[in-house]
Structure 1
């Protein structure tokens, strides 16, 4: 009996030690996990994949950029999840597009706790105003369609990062300068590519109204869209038929689907209008998945321009950055 009691006591003692050891290990693991998450870097949260990409280019290794949306996700209709609220509360800086591109996330961002500065990067650009009917206009949020506008966005991101981490001013400035130079080259290249399209075919018909800035900057007419600036809209049968008739009149050789929107309806429009649906989809509200031809802002713009030029009868020349 004494041996049994001794064994029990010994077992209990080991159990206590085991519990304490487990708690100690868990505590260390938690500290390490938290260290890995912050690692001394400010956390910058971006609400769109385009802004996340630009912020990463400017921030480099000096900040941790976390994008809420995955590539290919439509910001117009995205419904936030509880994890999004936690990320926003942890942020040191929140970068969002503005002009109501991401209504669900803007609402969540304004309701979330935390002391992060909230900056509408897209609003660095004066918006185009689109007719909503009944003498009402709304700002067009798709400002990145013009590469010059992306330069303004990069400048705003740079200044915000310098304010967030002043000791990294030189690195942010250098990164922004390099990116700006590439964007200037991109802007010039897109202009050259669009000019190769025959003038009477320089017309763009897309699923939703996301290319006004692109059209204005690069002299290609937006000849028609299935829906307006927000993908929340549902086109009526009458709207579809009107677009079909319009396409027949203007005589475009191809129309375009988009990566963030189900292509079924625009495919039907193409069939009824007797025109080709371009073999590649356009990136409208999001960059592409990693490894795709549009997995950064610059690559997305290059891919879109190639798709448009080749489908409308122009001559595409690859984009090469000159150092």
Structure 2
């Protein structure tokens, strides 16, 4: 009944949005900032960096909000309808909003930035066809999303196209520097300790980029359930490899991590929380962790500091 009710709600909201999209609108002003709506803080921060003074960015999902479970409200639909352009991650990260994006109407463009990444770079979940949407954890992959943002902003606001291209290149240079920093810091972790255990499987691309074995108790989505056997498998791994740290996530309940710590204790193996990582959401606005670069550096420093 709950899912059916939600489906009815989505249908009603998309109907409102479609109606808004049929209203007569004027072209985007070259003088006023573009009204941008982004879903996640990672996407919003990137658009703000590339768009600079020529954009006004509003982000739907703030600190601690899980995009896998986020359900749009009627207020969100109004924001979507009033935006000049919508940027979202895609790859089913915002699963409950896909129908909304598909019905934004002809006057507003909804851009799934992650779908600009070459398909052969994407990973799928074991034993399923689900594509891993957590692409921001590989700076090289994330650079393709910056290209998508630059292209869309330049197309919508041609007068400032050169500015967007310069900002896009500066953003990609930052990603290159960040990648170098990650390789240096994470390279200090001993081979036997290169195991990253988190609540859900958000760090697959991160692990592939920096040669870390990643174990998430839940699947790609926090909507996935985990079993006692799943907990036991990770506990056995920690005991056998003598790993003493696991990590909580800012947007995910710590219940599953506590189950791992308690399971290890029953085998007389001490495991502690190595720190809090930012996975599906960034930190509070106005803090270092409230930016993509600051969030990424925090995660690098936390992981490297706990596993060395």
| 4+ residue segments displaced more than 4 Å | none
8 Å CA contact retained: 1:47, 1:67: yes
Match of 2:141 among 145, 149, 153: 149
Partner Cα distance (1:232, 1:180) in 2? 32
Q: Name the counterpart of 1:264.
A: 255
* Per-residue deviation, residues 188-208 of structure 1 (Å, max 9, x unmatched): 110011110111111111110
Which consecutive unaligned segments of at least 5 residues does structure 2 have?
1-29
Per-residue Cα deviation, 1:102-146 (whole angstroms, up to 9, x for no partner): 01122222234462111110112235333443xx32211001110
CA distance, structure 1, for counterparts of residue 126 and residue 176 of structure 2: 33
Alignment check: 8 A CA contact 1:129 1:137 kept: no
Please identify, of 116-125 and 190-199, the stretch whose mean Cα deviation from structure 2 is larger. 116-125
1:226 aligns with 2:217: yes
Q: Give 1:88's match in structure 2, choosing from 56, 68, 80.
A: 80
Indicate how the Cα distance of structure 1 residues 279 and 293 shifts in structure 2: closer, same or farther if over 3 A, else same: farther
Distance in 2 of aligned mates of 1:178 and 1:292: 21
Q: Which residue of 1 aligns with 2:307?
A: 312
1:211 aligns with 2:206: no
With over 3 angstroms needed to count, the CA separation of the structure-2 counterparts of 1:132 and 1:199, relative to structure 1, is: closer
Question: 1:121-200 maps to which residues of 2 (within 5 A)?
Answer: 121-125=113-117, 126=119, 127-133=121-127, 136-200=128-192
Kept in 1, the 8 Å contact 2:125–2:132? The answer is no
Q: Distance in 1 between matches of 2:100 and 2:129?
A: 25
Q: Which runs of 5+ in 1 are unaligned?
A: 1-37, 314-323
| TM-score between both structures, scaled by the size of structure 1 | 0.80
Per-residue CA shift, 1:136-162, capped at 9, x if unaligned? 322110011101112111111111100
Distance 2:46 2:183 in 1: 22
Tell me if structure 1 keeps the 8 A contact 2:238–2:244: no
Q: Which residue of 2 aligns with 1:239?
A: 230
Change (3 A) 1:50 1:137: same
**1:302 is matched with which residue: 287, 297, 300?**
297
Deviation at 1:264, TM superposition (A): 2.2
Q: How many residues align?
A: 273
Distance (Å, rounded) in 2 between the aligned partners of 1:272 and 1:236: 13
Match of 2:283 among 255, 263, 288: 288
CA deviation string 1:215-235 (max 9, x = no partner): 11111111x211000000121
Change beyond 3 A, Cα 1:186–1:129? closer
Which of 43, 46, 52 in structure 2 is aligned with 1:51?
43
Work out whether residues 89 and 114 of structure 1, in 8 Å CA contact, stay in contact via their aligned partners in 2.
Answer: no
- RMSD (Å), alpha carbons: 1.7
Higher mean alpha-carbon deviation, 272-281 vs 239-248, is at 272-281
* Residues 240-249 or 63-72, more deviating: 240-249
Larger radius of gyration: 1
